[in-house]
Amino acid sequence: MSLPGSVSGPICPHLPTGYAPGRMPPEIAGDTGKENQMKLYDFKGAPNPRRVRMYMAEKGISMPTQEIDLMAREQHEDAFRAVNPWCTVPVLELDDGTHICEAMTIIRYLEAIQPEPPLLGTTPVEQATISMWEHKLEVDAMLAVGEVLRNSIDRFAGRALPGPVDHEQIPALAERGRKRIAYFMELLEERLGESEYVGGADFSVADITALVAVDFAVRVVEGLLDSHPNVQRWHESVSARPSAQA
């Protein structure tokens, strides 16, 4: 099967020649009449592509997308392996054929070429705090929910980890994942009791990862928000942002 318009290129998060932080390339700027040549490989049902879509919506960035049907295992077909041999989405395809994988790597690239409005912080302290919380939530929240789902749902039998290599499910990891979800919710409840947003006073990419993680977690834990009033307040506020529907 071929992917229309796909371009094979190296997978590495480098900045192509002629791009520089602080200057938008023409395909984002949209003021040259040139057709947008970047493309996002996406899947609407997966949490990590949603992080990128939400970030792009906050920044006002638009580009063509190509849906990769993970449920049909399209990510394992030869055509997509030529784009990303790690067999995951999202993937950002640049106009020079470069493919950038992993949600936060794509976000950091886009932030470098379109820094306004800033979502990764502006001062060193802001940047460090946002990065710290974003990483903490990715590890303790996103991965914890993934542990539960991939080690307990029949359709993930033999596919307990994403990627090109098959792994058998380990039921004990599903139970551990539920305990990790409880921990991250307490962590988030405490943080949002002292800060309006996860990364500080302003909305940031840390809130994007947190929102996607919480929405991901409600799939496996009923009544997740009921005993966490600070998270519930924050969740209602952030979910009302137009980008949350991206």
pLDDT at 161: 95
DSSP, collapsed to helix, strand or coil, labels residue 32 as: coil
Spell out the per-residue pLDDT of the chain, length 246, in tens: 334 343 334 343 333 333 333 334 444 444 434 445 899 999 999 999 999 999 999 999 999 999 999 999 999 999 999 999 999 999 999 999 999 999 999 999 999 999 999 999 999 999 999 999 999 999 999 999 999 999 999 999 999 999 999 999 999 999 999 999 999 999 999 999 999 999 999 999 999 999 999 999 999 999 999 999 999 999 999 999 999 999
What integer pLDDT is reported at residue 36 of this predicted model? 52
Contacting residues for 41 by C-beta, under 8 A, at least 6 apart: 65, 66, 68, 80, 83, 84, 89, 90, 91, 92, 93
- Alpha-carbon 8 to chain mean position: 22
Q: Which helix (H) or strand (E) holds 42?
A: strand 39-42
Please answer whether residues 188 and 180 qualify as being in contact, where contact means their C-beta atoms are separated by less than 8 angstroms.
Answer: no
d(CA 187, CA 140): 10
For residue 118, the model assigns a pLDDT of 98
CB contact at 8 A, 38 and 52: no
Which residue spans within 75-198 are E strands per DSSP?
91-93, 99-101
